[in-house]
C-alpha cells in the first residue's frame, strides 16, 4: 500500500481483447450480444466505448469481469497479465476482481448493500484481497480513500449507511472501493448516467483523479457523446454487437467515417451553440440481435447503403491515410475520398416555418399564466396521530408565462420542483397561493363541468417513459380513440382523426391495431404524443419526453415536436435535465433551484449570458460533444448536493453551494443569508433572482 502514484508507461498494454463474442440463449433464439470485438488497452489511458442500448458495450465489460450470467457463451480471448481470463475459474477470477480489475456501475443508489455501513463495505474490498491488514491499517486506508474521492468528514462517514448518502456521494464510495487495491484496469459502466449534470461533473472529476492516482487504464462505457468527449483518449463505437469505428477521440469527433458514427454525432444537439439547423435522426430503429441481417447490420438504417452492404458484413479495417483509425464500412474509401460529412450522408432537411413567424411575442395570445404559485407538502411525524411536523416547499413563488407557439423549458437538478410545477398546472385547481390562468380563464374560478372539460382538452401531458405511460393491453386504436370519445366524436370522425394523427406523428395509419409492445421506444413516444394531440390541445406539458430514448431515436422525436409546433402553433411547457435538448427545442427557459425560479428569459440570452451563479455552474457542467472545446474548458464545479428541502432557508436558497457567495464581503454575505432575492429584470428579456448578479 505504499506509494500511491505509479510511474506510468503508456505504451504498455494491460488488457488485450481478441475476437470476443458473447451469445445468450433466450426464448426468442440466440441473442448475438457481442460479435467480435478487438482492442488493446494501454496503461494510463482512457478508452471510451460508445453505443446505444443493445450495442453490446455493457456485455463486453461484464465479459472482461467474468460476471456474465451462466447462460452466456463467451468465446475469444481476453488477455490480462499474459493469461487468458476466459479460461480462469470463478475462484481464480475472484482473486483478480477488485484487486487488479475493478468496476464502477451505473446506478449508485442500488450498488451499495443497504444493511452495511460504508466503512464495512470498504473494509470488505480491502480485506478480501489483503487478509493480513490490521484493523488500524484498514481504518487508515479507508479514510484515505474517502478523502481521495472527496467525501468530507471521512472518519465519521465510515459509520454511515448508504441511505444517509446522496446518489453522487454513493458513487464516490463505489469509486473508492474500486480503487481501494490500486487496480490496473478500472471499468466504468455508465457511471454518471443516473446522476444530475452538476453531480456528473463532480464524479467525472473524481474519476479522472482516481485514474491518475492509480495509473490504471480506464474503460469508460457510455451512450453520451458529450461525456466521452471530455474524458476519453480513444473511442470504440459499437453497433449491434460489433465495433464499427475505432479511433482517437479527435478523429471520431472531427473526422468520422462510418455513417453510424456521423449519425450519432449529428443527432446530438449542442448546448453551447444556438440552434442552427434541424437535427439529423438516424432512420429506423436499432437492429434486432436475434435475427441479424445478412450484410452490414447498419445497412437498413444507412442512407448510403449499396447492394454489397446488404450482402456481406464489412470487417473492421485500418483506414489508409489515417493513423490508428479503423472502420467497418464498405464505402469508407468513397467517404474519405469525397470528404463526406453527415450533412451529405444524411441530408439536412429545412424546418417548417412556424405559423407565428413574424408575429412578435407580445402580440401572441397568452396560453398560460401562472403567477406566484406555491405547492407545499406536509411532513408527518410518526405515531398514531401522524402529527404535521413541517412543510416542504416543492414549488415556491413560481411565475411562468407561456404564449402561443412557444416552448418554455424548466431546467434544474432533480428535486428542484420542475415536475411538481407541471403537475400543479395539469391539476387545473387553485394553487395554494397565486393564480393560474389558462387562455385568460382563472382555473380557481367557478367553472361548470363542461367548461372545465374544455379546459382539460386544451392542456395535455406527455410522460417520460413511453413504456409505462401506454396501457400495454390496449391496441393503439383504442389508446387514441379514448380521448376522442370523451369529447363526443362519433365512430366515423374518430377513424378519420386517428388516421390523421398517425400520419401527423410519422407512423403508418394501418398499424393502429397493434399493441404498444410491438413498437420501439421512439415509436411509442410518438404514439404518446399523438394521444396528447388527439383533442387539439393548445398547450402540451412534456415531462422529460426524450430522456428514456436512445440518442439516434431522440433526434426524430425532437424534430417531430418542433414540426408539430410550427404547423399547429401548440405551446410546450417542458421539463428536461438534458440542457442540450433544452437549447435545441426551447425558445425560453426558466432555471429552477429548490422550488424557486432563479433565472429565466429568452433561451440564447440565458444560455450565452447566464447571470445567476447557479445557472453558470449548471451550464458549465454540461459536457459538450467536442473534445478540443472540452480540453480548454474551465468548469465551475459546485460543492455538495442540493440541500434537504425540509431545511428552512431564510435567505437565498443557493447560499450553501454558491461560488459567488464565497467571494463576497461579510456584509454582502449577510444579505444573501437573510434576504431572499426577488426576480429582477436585468435585461430586456432576462430575469435573475440574485442580489449580486451584476458582480459575477
Q: Under the rule (CB under 8 A), what is the footprint of other proteins? A: 65, 67, 90-91, 94-99, 102-103, 105, 107, 110-117, 124-125, 128-129, 161, 163, 174, 177-178, 382-384
Residues whose CB is less than 8 angstroms from the CB of residue 221 and which lie 6 or more positions away in sequence, other chains included: 48, 49, 57, 58, 60, 61, 187, 188, 189, 190
Judged by beta carbon, residue 163 or residue 496, the one nearer other proteins is 163
Judged by beta carbon, residue 179 or residue 557, the one nearer other proteins is 179
> Cα-atom radius of gyration of the chain, to the nearest Å?
27
Dihedral of CA 240/245/248/249: which sign? negative
Least spacing, CB of residue 423 vs other proteins, in Å = 28
Least spacing, CB of residue 92 vs other proteins, in Å = 10
Q: In what order do the strands lie in the sheet with 686-688?
A: 459-462, 539-543, 571-575, 407-411, 588-593, 596-602, 686-688, 680-683
Judged by beta carbon, residue 171 or residue 246, the one nearer other proteins is 171
Judged by beta carbon, residue 385 or residue 665, the one nearer other proteins is 385
Judged by beta carbon, residue 185 or residue 558, the one nearer other proteins is 185
CA atoms of 676 and 659, how far apart (whole Å): 17
Strands 46-50, 217-222: pairing kind: parallel
C-alpha cell at 45: 489511458
Measured from the Cβ of residue 164, the count of other Cβ atoms closer than 10 Å reads 12
Least spacing, CB of residue 365 vs other proteins, in Å = 50
Helix axes 491-504, 521-533, angle to 10 degrees: 130
Least spacing, CB of residue 171 vs other proteins, in Å = 11
Q: What are phi and psi of 119, to 5 degrees?
A: -60, -45
Using alpha carbons, select from 189, 201, 105, 196 the residue that is nearest to residue 544. Answer: 196
Q: What are phi and psi of 452, to 5 degrees?
A: -65, -40
The kind and range of the H/E element at 335 are helix 332-337
Using alpha carbons, select from 341, 336, 281, 319 the residue that is nearest to residue 549. Answer: 281
Cβ atoms of 260 and 225 closer than 8 Å: no
At residue 8's C-alpha, the angle toward residues 101 and 225, to 5°, is 65
Least spacing, CB of residue 128 vs other proteins, in Å = 5
Judged by beta carbon, residue 97 or residue 577, the one nearer other proteins is 97
Least spacing, CB of residue 233 vs other proteins, in Å = 24
Least spacing, CB of residue 482 vs other proteins, in Å = 35
Judged by beta carbon, residue 71 or residue 609, the one nearer other proteins is 71
CA atoms of 414 and 551, how far apart (whole Å): 21
C-alpha cell at 293: 441481417
Dihedral of CA 435/436/441/444: which sign? negative
Cβ atoms of 17 and 204 closer than 8 Å: no
Judged by beta carbon, residue 106 or residue 620, the one nearer other proteins is 106
Least spacing, CB of residue 468 vs other proteins, in Å = 20
Least spacing, CB of residue 163 vs other proteins, in Å = 5
Least spacing, CB of residue 175 vs other proteins, in Å = 12
Least spacing, CB of residue 116 vs other proteins, in Å = 8
At residue 144's C-alpha, the angle toward residues 637 and 116, to 5°, is 95
Judged by beta carbon, residue 114 or residue 488, the one nearer other proteins is 114
Judged by beta carbon, residue 123 or residue 583, the one nearer other proteins is 123
3-state secondary structure 265-332: HHCCCCCCCCCCCCCCCCCCCCCCCCCCCCCCCCHHHCCCCCHHHHHCCCCCEECCCCCCCEECCCCH
Judged by beta carbon, residue 168 or residue 522, the one nearer other proteins is 168
Least spacing, CB of residue 108 vs other proteins, in Å = 9
Judged by beta carbon, residue 180 or residue 689, the one nearer other proteins is 180
Least spacing, CB of residue 98 vs other proteins, in Å = 3
Collapsing DSSP to helix, strand or coil, 248 comes out as strand
Judged by beta carbon, residue 174 or residue 527, the one nearer other proteins is 174
Judged by beta carbon, residue 180 or residue 690, the one nearer other proteins is 180
CA atoms of 124 and 127, how far apart (whole Å): 5
Q: In what order do the strands lie in the sheet with 83-84?
A: 29-42, 13-26, 72-80, 83-84
Judged by beta carbon, residue 89 or residue 684, the one nearer other proteins is 89
Dihedral of CA 305/308/309/310: which sign? positive
Judged by beta carbon, residue 163 or residue 485, the one nearer other proteins is 163
Using alpha carbons, select from 47, 50, 56 the residue that is nearest to residue 20. Answer: 56
Least spacing, CB of residue 254 vs other proteins, in Å = 35
Least spacing, CB of residue 97 vs other proteins, in Å = 4
Judged by beta carbon, residue 26 or residue 518, the one nearer other proteins is 26
Instruction: State the greatest distance between any 2 C-alpha atoms of the chain, in Å, as a whole number.
Output: 80
Scanning 18-130, the segments in alpha helix (DSSP H) are: 57-65, 90-96, 108-111, 118-129
Cβ atoms of 138 and 123 closer than 8 Å: yes
CA atoms of 542 and 577, how far apart (whole Å): 12
Half-sphere exposure of 546 (CA within 13 A, CB side): 25
Least spacing, CB of residue 614 vs other proteins, in Å = 31
Least spacing, CB of residue 49 vs other proteins, in Å = 17
Amino acid at each position: 500500500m505504499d506509494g500511491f502514484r505509479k510511474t506510468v508507461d503508456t505504451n504498455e498494454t494491460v488488457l488485450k481483447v481478441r475476437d470476443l463474442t458473447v451469445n445468450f440463449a433466450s426464448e426468442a433464439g440466440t441473442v448475438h450480444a457481442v460479435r467480435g470485438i478487438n482492442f488493446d488497452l494501454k496503461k494510463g489511458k482512457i478508452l471510451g466505448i460508445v453505443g446505444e442500448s443493445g450495442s453490446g458495450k455493457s456485455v463486453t465489460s461484464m465479459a472482461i469481469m467474468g460476471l456474465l450470467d451462466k447462460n452466456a457463451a463467451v468465446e475469444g480471448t481476453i488477455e490480462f497479465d499474459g493469461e487468458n481470463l476466459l479460461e480462469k475459474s470463478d475462484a481464480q477470477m475472484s482473486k483478480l476482481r477488485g484487486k487488479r480489475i475493478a468496476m464502477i456501475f451505473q446506478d449508485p443508489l442500488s450498488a451499495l448493500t443497504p444493511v452495511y455501513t460504508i466503512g464495512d463495505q470498504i473494509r470488505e474490498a480491502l480485506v478480501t484481497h489483503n487478509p493480513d491488514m490490521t484493523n488500524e491499517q484498514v481504518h487508515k486506508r479507508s479514510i484515505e480513500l474517502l478523502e481521495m474521492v472527496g467525501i468530507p468528514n471521512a472518519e465519521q462517514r465510515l459509520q454511515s449507511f448508504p441511505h444517509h448518502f446522496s446518489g453522487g456521494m454513493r458513487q464516490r464510495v463505489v469509486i473508492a472501493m474500486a480503487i481501494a487495491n490500486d487496480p490496473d484496469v478500472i471499468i466504468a459502466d455508465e457511471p454518471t448516467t443516473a446522476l444530475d449534470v452538476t453531480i456528473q461533473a463532480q464524479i467525472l472529476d473524481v474519476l479522472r483523479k482516481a485514474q491518475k492516482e492509480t495509473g490504471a487504464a480506464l474503460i469508460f462505457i457510455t451512450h453520451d457523446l458529450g461525456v466521452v468527449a471530455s474524458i476519453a483518449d480513444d473511442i470504440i463505437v459499437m453497433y449491434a454487437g460489433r465495433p464499427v469505428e475505432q479511433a482517437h477521440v479527435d478523429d471520431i469527433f472531427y473526422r468520422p467515417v462510418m455513417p453510424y458514427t456521423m449519425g450519432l454525432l449529428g443527432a446530438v444537439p449542442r448546448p453551447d451553440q444556438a440552434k442552427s439547423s434541424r437535427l439529423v435522426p438516424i432512420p429506423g430503429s436499432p437492429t434486432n440481435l436475434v435475427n441479424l441481417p445478412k450484410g452490414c447490420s447498419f445497412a437498413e438504417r444507412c442512407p448510403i447503403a449499396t447492394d454489397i452492404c446488404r450482402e456481406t458484413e464489412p470487417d473492421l479495417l485500418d483506414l489508409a491515410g489515417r493513423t490508428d483509425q479503423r472502420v467497418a464500412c464498405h464505402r469508407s474509401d468513397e467517404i474519405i475520398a469525397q470528404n463526406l460529412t453527415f450533412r451529405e450522408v444524411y441530408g439536412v432537411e429545412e424546418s417548417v416555418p412556424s405559423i407565428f413567424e413574424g408575429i412578435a411575442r407580445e402580440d401572441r395570445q397568452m396560453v398560460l399564466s401562472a403567477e406566484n404559485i406555491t405547492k407545499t407538502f406536509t411532513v408527518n411525524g410518526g405515531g398514531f396521530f401522524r402529527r404535521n411536523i413541517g412543510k416542504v416547499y416543492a414549488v415556491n413563488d413560481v411565475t411562468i408565462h407561456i404564449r402561443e407557439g412557444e416552448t418554455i423549458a424548466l431546467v434544474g437538478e432533480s428535486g428542484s420542483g420542475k415536475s411538481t410545477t407541471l403537475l400543479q398546472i395539469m391539476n387545473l385547481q387553485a394553487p395554494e397561493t397565486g393564480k393560474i390562468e389558462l387562455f385568460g380563464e382563472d382555473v380557481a374560478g367557478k367553472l361548470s363541468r363542461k367548461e372545465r372539460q374544455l379546459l382539460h382538452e386544451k392542456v395535455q401531458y406527455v410522460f417520460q417513459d413511453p413504456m409505462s405511460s401506454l396501457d400495454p393491453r390496449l391496441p393503439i386504436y383504442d389508446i387514441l380513440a379514448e380521448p376522442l370519445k370523451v369529447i363526443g366524436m362519433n365512430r366515423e370522425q374518430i377513424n378519420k382523426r386517428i388516421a390523421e394523427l398517425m400520419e401527423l406523428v410519422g407512423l403508418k395509419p394501418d398499424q393502429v391495431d397493434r399493441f404498444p409492445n410491438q413498437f420501439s421506444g421512439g415509436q411509442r413516444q410518438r404514439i404518446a404524443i399523438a394521444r396528447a394531440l388527439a383533442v387539439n390541445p393548445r398547450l402540451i406539458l412534456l415531462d422529460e419526453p426524450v430522456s428514456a430514448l436512445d440518442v439516434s431515436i431522440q433526434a426524430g422525436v425532437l424534430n417531430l415536436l418542433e414540426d408539430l409546433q410550427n404547423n399547429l402553433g401548440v405551446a410546450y411547457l417542458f421539463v428536461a435535465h438534458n440542457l442540450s435538448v433544452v437549447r435545441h427545442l426551447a425558445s425560453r427557459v426558466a432555471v429552477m433551484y429548490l422550488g424557486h425560479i432563479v433565472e429565466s428569459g429568452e433561451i440564447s440570452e440565458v444560455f450565452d449570458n447566464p447571470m445567476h451563479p447557479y445557472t453558470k455552474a449548471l451550464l458549465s457542467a454540461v459536457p459538450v460533444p467536442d473534445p478540443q472545446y472540452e480540453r480548454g474548458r474551465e468548469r465551475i464545479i459546485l460543492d455538495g448536493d442540493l440541500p434537504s428541502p425540509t431545511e428552512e432557508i431564510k435567505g437565498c436558497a443557493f447560499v450553501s453551494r454558491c461560488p459567488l457567495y464565497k467571494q463576497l464581503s461579510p456584509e454582502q454575505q449577510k444579505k444573501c443569508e437573510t434576504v431572499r432575492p426577488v426576480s429582477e429584470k436585468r435585461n430586456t428579456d432576462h430575469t435573475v433572482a440574485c442580489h449580486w448578479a451584476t458582480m459575477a
